[in-house]
Chains A and B, each alone.
Chain A
Amino acid sequence: MISTIYIEEDVRHHHRTQEICNRFSQATIIPCDRYSNVFNSNSQNFRLQKKQPSLILAKKHKGRVLSTPPGYGIGADNNYYFSHMMNCLYDCRYCFLQGMYRSAHYVVFVNYEDFFDDISSVTGNNQSASWFFSGYDCDSLAMEPVTGFIESCLNYFQDLPDANLEVRTKSTQIRSLLNRPAMQNCVMAYSFTTEDTAQRLEHKAPSVEKRIAALAKLQSHGWPVGLRFDPLILSKNFEHDYKKLLDQIFSSINPAQVHSVSYGAFRLPKPFFKKMVSLYPDERLFATHLSEKGSMISYPENTEQHCLNTMKTLLTERVSESVLFPCS
C-alpha cells in the first residue's frame, strides 16, 4: 500500500517511526527536514497523488488541540478538535480535504503523548465537560492497524472522566474496540450518505451495509454510538433515499440508545470548492445548482432548508429531538 515514507529528522529515532516503517519494509525511505517541505510545497496535484499517496511521519509542534468552528458540536459548551493525521485513506468526492490541502500524502504525527497532554491541560482548564472531536482531517479508524492512535487515545481518555471523545469514522477497523471494555465518555460516530451516493462518491470507503454492521457490533458491545449525516447530498428522490437509509440503520441498532445524530447540508468554503472543481471538472456534484452564501458554497437557501427539514422529520420519527444536532 505505502511505497514511499518521508521521515522528518525530528522523529527519525522515535519508536513509533520504527514500528510503522517495519510494517512497510519494502517502502523507499526519504529523510526530510520538516514535513511541510514535502506536504506544503507548491505545484502538487492532489488528484494525481491520491492514486498513490506516500506516508509522512512527523512531529506536531504546536496547535495540537484547537477550538471547533462555530456551530460544530453536540450540545456541549467546550468543543475542540485535534488531528493526529492529515488526509484520509478514503476518497470521498465531496470532502473538503481535497480543496484544503496541496498534497494527498498521509501525514502521521507520531508524538501522540503531546496531543494527550494538551487534551488533559484543556480539560483541566474548563469548568464543565469538554468534547474532543477526532476525525476532522482524516478518518479516525481507517489507518488504526498502522497507527494504533485510537487505542492509545482511549487509554488516556479512560482516566479523564471530564473529557469526552468523538471518534468519527466510516471504517470497519473496529477489532481493537471490540477487544476492550466500552467507555461511556467515547462515542463511535459513523458517517453515512445514501447507498447510491456512497457508491458514486465515497471511493474506497466501506459500503453502507458494512458500516451499519460495524456500528451494530459496537453498540452491542456497549459503546455509545452516533450517526452523522453530513453532508446531506440532494438527489432526485432525496426523501425516499434517506428514508431507506434510516430504515436500514435502525433495523440494525437500537434507536433509544443512540447518543447523538448530527446532520448538515452539503457546503464548502469557496476557495476549497474552486480548487475541487479544477481538480475534478467532470464531477457532476460540483456542477449541480449551488449558491454562494458569504464565504461558502452550498445549495440555494430553499433547497438547503428542504434537505434539513426533511431530514429532521425523518429522524424525529425514529429518535428523540434531544439527540439531534443540525450543523451549519
Chain B
Amino acid sequence: MLNFVVALKTEAGPLIEHFSLKLQPNTTFPVFSSADTNLVISGMGRNQASAATAWLAATAPAAVWVNFGIAGHKSKEAGNMLVAHKISEAGTGKSWYPVHIKTALETSQLTTFDTVQRNYQPNTLHDMEASGFYEAAIRFSTAELTHSVKVVSDNESHPIESIDKAQVETLITENIPQLSGFCAHLCHMAHEVTHEVSAAKIDCYHERWKFTVTQQHQLKHLLQRRLALGIDSKSPSDSSTLPADLCSMHNSKAVLKWLLNDTNARAEFY
C-alpha cells in the first residue's frame, strides 16, 4: 500500500488523475483512494501535515509513505524533482535523515519553514510540510520507505508570487512518470519485507480453538517457523487440512504444545 501526503489540492490534482483515485466520503481530511494507493490533502503547514499523516496511518496503514508537493530553491530550475536526503525544521533545529536509496532522482537537503520564504537559503529546498510529515510517518513505516519528494516551483529568478495554479499543475504533471517510477521502486522494496503467515492459515486454528492474545502470538510464531522449515505449505488451509492428531487436541494450550513438539522434532537440523 502506498500513501501520499500532499498539502494542497492543486498539487494533488495530477496525482489523483494519474493514480485514478476516488474521493472518499465523510473523512476528517480529504482522502482519495484506489485499491492500493491513498492520498490525503493535509493543508499547509507542518502541523497539518503531521496530523493528516497520523490520521491516515490510523485509517489506512501503508508500508510506503511519500510527501509530495512543490518547493522553492535558491538556484535549481523550476521543474526539477528532488527527493530529500536530509529534512531540517527551521523552527526547532531538528533534523532527520531519510535513508538515501539509489534511484535516478536527484537528492537535496530540505528545510521546512513555518512561513513562506522569500529569502532563499543556499543548497536546500524550502517547504512548509516535510518535517511534520516525516516525524509522524516514520512511526508507521521505515526510513527506507518514507520520503519527501518535491518539484521546484520557484527560485530567486522566479519567486513564488510569479507562480499560478496552472503552472504548478504543469510542473507536477511533467514529473508524474518519474514520481510513479520512484514509488513503484519503493513498493517493490516494501514487498520484500512484508512476510506474514496468511490470515486464512491462522483463521483455520481460530475456527476450532479459542486463543488468548499471548497464545495468538505464539501460534503465529510457530506457524511462521513451520513455513520457514517447509513443514506447511504457503497456500491457505481450512481446518479440514489439519492433521488428525492435532485436531484431537482439546484446547489451545494443547494445540500449541503439539505444534511446538512436532516442529522441533522435524527441525533438528538446518
Contacts and interface: CB of A to CB of B under 8 A. Distances in A.
Q: Is A bound to B? A: yes
Interface of A: 3-4, 6, 28, 30, 32-33, 37-38, 41-45, 47-49, 52, 54, 197, 233-236, 238, 279, 281-289, 303
B206 interface: no
A54 B100 contact: yes
A45 B99 CA distance: 10
Contact of A281 (B228, B230, B268, B269): B228
A267 to B, nearest CB: 14
Given A44-B142, A281-B195, A37 B97 contact: yes
B157 interface: no
Interface residues of B, number: 36
Contacts of B144: 44-45, 48-49
Contacts of A38: 97
Contacts of B270: 197, 233-235, 284-285, 288
Interface in B127-176: 138-139, 141-146
Contacts of A285: 270
A239 to B, nearest CB: 12
Contact of A41 (B85, B96, B145, B189): B96
Contacts of B143: 41, 43-45
B105 to A, nearest CB: 11
27 contacts: A4-B85, A6-B97, A28-B85, A28-B100, A30-B97, A30-B100, A32-B97, A37-B95, A41-B97, A42-B138, A43-B146, A45-B145, A47-B193, A48-B99, A48-B144, A48-B193, A54-B100, A233-B270, A234-B268, A281-B227, A285-B270, A286-B228, A287-B228, A287-B263, A288-B269, A289-B263, A289-B267
B96 A52 contact: no
A288 B193 contact: no
Contacts of A54: 99-100
B192 interface: yes
Contacts of A197: 270
Given A32-B97, A45-B142, A3 B102 contact: yes
Which of A6, A42, A45, A303 counts the most chain B CB atoms within 10 A?
Answer: A45
A279 B143 CA distance: 15
Contacts of A286: 228
B228 A235 contact: no
B268 A282 contact: no
Given A43-B139, A43-B141, A284 B228 contact: yes
Contacts of A28: 85, 100, 107
B228 A4 contact: no
Contacts of A43: 138-139, 141-143, 146
Interface in B227-268: 227-230, 263-264, 267-268
Which of B99, B139, B195, B227 counts the most chain A CB atoms within 10 A?
Answer: B99
Nearest to B138: A43
Nearest to A6: B97
A48 B142 contact: yes
A66 B11 CA distance: 54
A3 B104 CA distance: 12
B97 A48 contact: no
B267 A288 contact: yes
A41 B189 CA distance: 20
B85 A282 contact: no
Interface in B68-105: 85-86, 95-97, 99-102
B117 interface: no
